[in-house]
Amino acid sequence: MGVIAEFAQETIDAGAFEALDKVYVENKIRALVGDEDVPAKEGKLVPQLIELAVSRGKIEDGQTAREILNDQLYDLMTPRPSVINHEFWQKHIVSPETATDWFYNLCTNNDYVKVDAIKKNVVFNEKVKDGNELEITINLSKPEKDPKAIAAAAHATAKKYPQCALCLENEGYLGRLGQAARSNHRVIRLNVGGQKWGMQYSPYAYFNEHCIFLDTKHEPMKIDQQTLINLVEIERQFPHYFVGSNADLPIVGGSMLAHEHYQGGRHTFPMMKAKIKKPLHFSDFPAVKAGVVDWPMSDIRLTSEDTIQLIQLGTYIMDKWNHYDDESLQIKAFGVDGERHHTVTPIMHREGTAYVLDLVLRDNNTNDDYPLGIFHPHAEKWHIKKENIGLIEVMGRAILPARLKSELNEVKKFWLGEANEITDAHLPWAKEVQSRREITKDNVEQVLHEEVAQVFGDVLADAGVFKNDEAGQAGWERFLQIL
C-alpha cells in the first residue's frame, strides 16, 4: 500500500473519520505532500510523508517547516476540540482516571506528547547524604531552537499571536518561525475558582502524564488564597494527580510568570515521600495536621479532609511569611523600594480523602556575594545546575541541561585516567570527588550518579531559607514562634 493510502487508513482507524471518508482524507494528505503516492517503508508514516513533501518542494527543508507539516498531518487523526471535550467529560463521569487515560493516550498517539523525544532523556535516582532519594534527569528531548527563528525574533516588533506558549489561542495554531506548531494541540475546558481554565499535556514531559492547568486569560501568576482554592478545586476534579504552582517572583519562580498556570501529573515526587521532622499544632485549626518536613528546602506540610480549614491555615502561613524578616539569615520580605521578596511554592496532592498541601518558603533577595540569588544555586555548583529552582525541582526531580550528557562522559574519562576533554568548570569538583573515592571502570557510572545527585541535593539546600544547621534550625524556631 502507498504511504498516503496507509496514513489515510491509520487516520480513519484513529476515529476522527469513517471509512466512507477515505478518498477525502487521502486528498487532504495530498494537499500537504503532493499527489502521487509512493510505496510505504517500514516504520512511522509521518516522517516518510515529510520527506516526500521536502523532495517535491511542497515545504522547504528546514526545522520549522518540518515541525509544522508533522503536526498538520497528525491533526488529521485528531478530533475537533468540541468532540474531545464532550468525550472527556463523559468519561470523567465514569472516573477521572478513565478520562485522563483516554486523553493522554490520544495526545501520545497524535504526537502532541513527543514520546520518542522524551525517551532520549537520561533519568536515574540516587540517595543523598540526608537520606532522601532524589530524581535526576538530563533533558535531551526539547529540540534546539531553529536558527532562522532566532534571527526572525531579533527583528520582530509586531504584537505576538498567540501572546505566549500557554495561551489558549495555541490550540490548532499552524505555527511559524519562533512560534511552535500546534495544529494537533487540544485543551480540555474546565472551571477553576469560578473562572474558565484549560488542561493540556506537556509536549516534552518531565515526568509521567505531565500536564498544565492554565487560565484561559493571559494574566500574570499570583500566589494568594485564591491559589489554594484553585488547587483544592483541581484536586477534587483530578484526585489521582498532584498539582502545584511555581512561585510568582523572578529567581525563585518559573519561566512563564506572565501567564497564570499550574503543573500537575501522575507522579510521586521525593518530597511527597519525605517525613515530618517537627510536628506543629495550630489550635484554631484543629482539623489540620501540620509539621515541618525533613527536606533540604524549607517546607511546611498541612494535611486535612477539611479543605476550608486547610485553605485558611495555608493563607495565614503565607501571609506571615510574606511579611517576615530575619536579618541574621539574610531573610528580608521587602526591599527599600517596597518590592516584595517573599512568596511560596504551593503543591497539593491527595492521600485517600485527605488533601496534602506543601508550602515551600521562598525568598528572591540578591546581594554582592550572590547576585543571582541568595537562596539560589551557589556558584560552585553552577557546573551542574545554574538555572532557577522551580516547582518540579523543589519536589526533588532535577531538570539538568543537555550539555551535561557529553560533559559528564569527559568527567568519567578523567577519573579513569583516560584521554579527555574535561571542562574547567567541572575540574575542581572532579578532583575533589577523586580525592575521596576509589573509582574504577566497574563503579565509575555509579559514582557519577551518586555525586551528581549529591550536588543537586546541595543545590536544594542552597535554595532553602532555613538551612539544616544550628543557625538555620534556630531560624525555623523563630519563625514558628511567630506562627
Domain annotation covers residue 33: yes
Answer whether residue 362 is part of any domain: no
- Say what the pLDDT of residue 256 is: 87
List per-residue pLDDT tens for the chain, 483 residues long.
899 999 999 999 999 999 999 999 999 999 999 999 999 999 999 999 999 999 999 999 999 999 999 999 999 999 999 999 999 999 999 999 999 999 999 999 999 999 999 999 999 999 999 999 999 999 998 776 666 665 665 555 667 899 999 999 999 999 998 889 999 999 999 999 999 999 999 999 999 999 999 999 999 999 999 999 999 999 999 999 999 999 999 999 877 899 999 999 999 999 999 999 999 999 999 999 999 999 999 999 999 999 999 999 999 999 999 999 999 999 999 999 999 999 999 999 999 999 999 999 999 999 999 999 999 999 999 999 999 999 999 999 999 999 999 999 999 999 999 999 999 999 999 999 999 999 999 999 999 999 999 999 999 999 999 999 999 999 999 999 999
Q: What are phi and psi of 340, to 5 degrees?
A: -75, 135
User: E-assigned strands of 133-204?
Assistant: 133-138, 188-192, 195-201
Tell me if 109 is assigned to some domain: no
Question: Under a CB-based contact definition with an 8 Å cutoff, are residues 10 and 18 in contact?
Answer: no
What's the pLDDT at 155? Answer: 59
On whether the CB atoms of residues 361 and 467 are closer than 8 A, the answer is no
Beta-bridge partners for 347: 244, 358
> Residue 255: its pLDDT value, please?
78
Q: Which cell goes with 334?
A: 521587602
Domain membership of residue 28 (yes or no) is yes
The answer as to whether 17 is a domain residue is: yes
Range of the domain at 37: 3-61
User: Is the distance from CB of 439 to CB of 367 less than 8 angstroms?
Assistant: no
CA 83 to CA 90: how far, in whole Å? 11
Q: Is residue 357 part of a domain?
A: no
Specify the pLDDT at position 154: 54
Number of domains observed in the structure of the chain:
1
CB of 182 within 8 A of CB of 175? yes
52 belongs to a structural domain = yes
pLDDT at 159: 77
pLDDT at 142: 77
Identify whether 50 is part of a domain: yes
